[in-house]
Amino acid sequence: TTRVYNLTISETTGWPDGYNRTLTVINGQFPGPLIEVNAGDRLIVNVINNGVNATTMHFHGLFQNGSNYMDGVTGITQCPIPAGSSFQYNFTISDSQYGTYWYHSHYGTQYSDGVYGPLVIHSADEDEMIGDMYDYDQVVLIQDWYHGVSFGYLPEYLASNNENTEPTPDNGLINGANFFNCSLKPDDTCYQAESKRELFNFERDKTYRLRVINVGSFAEIDFSVDSHPFTLVEADGTTVKPSTFHKVRIAVAQRYSVLMTTNVTASDSQNDTYWMRAELNKFCFKESNPVLDVGVKAAIKYTNTTDSVARLTMVSKSSRVSTTTNSWDDRDANVRCLDLDNNSIEPFEKLEVPNATHFFRLDSSFFIGAYQLDLAYINGTSWVSADTPTLYSAWEQLSPAGLGANSSDSNATSLLNTVGPLELGVYAGNKNQYVINVPDYAVVDILLNNLDDGSHPFHLHGYKFWVMDSGRGNYKYTNYGNWTSDNPMLRDTVTVQSYGWAILRFVADNPGLWAFHCHITWHLEAGLMMQFQTMSSQIGTLNPPSEWQQLCAA
């Protein structure tokens, strides 16, 4: 089946929490519309850019097997779509991929201003494991929120001697809404009457699958529903062994599905209404923000009807509701940003983890660099978007159509550097394009050392990786091979804690150039990104549409 979505980007003013600001939105909606497909479908997304800036669209977590040129990364897999033009994304969803994903602009920090939406892949394979466990399905988007346009924060954030000055969020949102006390910003335009929380009408004695996606820019979020323990069944598109939690901590770009049953009678609930909470983990903020203490909440109200459907729909934000339910008290606000570890989460089906053939060490850190900018580095390199996307350079050189066309391009030539087994990370490209080249099928281990005092949610495009091990301090190489689990978690975004490390393993079988980066938008802008060029022997056989080439000719 082919499914077609048209996404029209435009600028508008809006007031998600009552506070008026400029937004960049899709189809006039904030957040963007749900894309819903089945495994194996062809997905066509027409992006019509009526905005004032260029754009791209990235489908977060999708494998893009054989279609790397549809991965939507500015400077890596494509030239951006200029304002006033359009581009068609057209690719096949892998048969083996399902669960909860999202899509977002991969042009600068643009998604922070509203260019994102949820993407859900249904499949019989997933249904077999957990389909019987729930009645209704509901997307829940959680995020930190800023009252200014994202690029407005960059000059200060990237200025010299400003380490650890990520902008502090002004609020948080659940499905694009939350309360804000307008009297705190009396000089600005803020509509108190429009400052509403999301209301979910849920039917009593039913089980709801909440697909929770952190679409934010920076903050890790503790998600919970008062009085309702829930069962975790999915993380980043991997079905996991069901286990019970009160709260789950979700880093930027991660997704978790939890099942909650509307069978509670709590004395502190007014009219069968309960708070859903998205508590921003303030541990990592440079300054406290009292506004956030009123909490990021939505209401779940038991009713005779439901807003949710067996297959998904977004509910609209609604009337002002209030209740008095209490948060689970098992949260420690001073706990540093951490994922659920391999002992509390594992794939539903035990997966065969192949042995690694290659090992790369990546050291990520922040420095005051050239031009006194506060930049982020991976192995001494800090990413800056290339005018000619690295995939374009590689493809042009390797494809029969473009053979030799750009052979004097030193960037393209160095992309062909090969790496032997068990070498440490090598340096290819230039200081802004750090590319590790893996020419043929391989099983790659990454030791990611975080030499910074903040935690980082790292995301690998085009793959999922096993989180083989993680910890704090220096990695002890003598422990290599002594894995803590024989069924490690498989996901696409992992938090590497401050002064910590993680070992990530992936099967490098997907031809193309794949971004590997911290998903905090501020850190992306500071250059915390590199690339894996995998199955390069087959990059020349990729077959991008001429429209893709024309974007770079423009």
Which residues of the shown chain bind ligand C2O in the complex (CB under 6 A)? 58, 60, 104, 106, 253, 459, 461, 515, 517, 519
Pick 104 or 209: Cβ nearer ligand C2O: 104
Closest residue to ligand C2O in the complex (CB): 60
Pick 297 or 461: Cβ nearer ligand C2O: 461
What's the rounded Cα separation, in Å, for the pair 69 and 429?
A: 19
Q: How far is the CB of 377 from ligand C2O (least distance, A)?
A: 18
Q: How far is the CB of 515 from ligand C2O (least distance, A)?
A: 5
Q: How far is the CB of 106 from ligand C2O (least distance, A)?
A: 6
> Measuring CA to CA, which residue among 42, 69, 80 is closest to residue 512?
69
Q: Based on the number of CB atoms within 10 Å of its own CB, is 539 exposed (0-12), middle (13-18) or buried (19 or more)?
A: buried
What's the rounded Cα separation, in Å, for the pair 142 and 376?
A: 26
At residue 288's C-alpha, the angle toward residues 248 and 139, to 5°, is 30
> Measuring CA to CA, which residue among 244, 248, 199, 198 is closest to residue 221?
248
Pick 37 or 57: Cβ nearer ligand C2O: 57
> Measuring CA to CA, which residue among 429, 421, 440, 454 is closest to residue 522?
454
Whether the Cβ atoms of residue 210 and residue 334 lie closer than 8 Å to each other: no
In sequence order, what are the residues at sequence separation of 6 or more whose Cβ sits closer than 8 angstroms to the Cβ of residue 412? 393, 394, 396, 397, 406
How do 493-496 and 456-460 pair as beta strands?
antiparallel
Q: How far is the CB of 382 from ligand C2O (least distance, A)?
A: 16
Pick 264 or 436: Cβ nearer ligand C2O: 436
- The residue whose two tokens read 């992992």 is 494
Pick 200 or 383: Cβ nearer ligand C2O: 383
Q: Provide the 10 A C-beta neighbour count for residue 223.
A: 23
What's the rounded Cα separation, in Å, for the pair 139 and 313?
A: 8
Pick 122 or 517: Cβ nearer ligand C2O: 517
Pick 111 or 395: Cβ nearer ligand C2O: 111
Q: How far is the CB of 461 from ligand C2O (least distance, A)?
A: 6
Pick 228 or 459: Cβ nearer ligand C2O: 459
Strand extents, DSSP E, 290-399: 297-303, 358-368, 374-378
Pick 110 or 308: Cβ nearer ligand C2O: 110
- N-terminal to C-terminal alpha carbon distance within the chain: 33
Q: Based on the number of CB atoms within 10 Å of its own CB, is 341 exposed (0-12), middle (13-18) or buried (19 or more)?
A: middle
Q: How far is the CB of 104 from ligand C2O (least distance, A)?
A: 6
Backbone region of residue 133 per phi and psi (left: phi > 0; alpha: psi in -120 to 50; beta: other values): alpha
What's the rounded Cα separation, in Å, for the pair 367 and 66?
A: 37
> Measuring CA to CA, which residue among 94, 182, 143, 40 is closest to residue 492?
94
Pick 57 or 174: Cβ nearer ligand C2O: 57
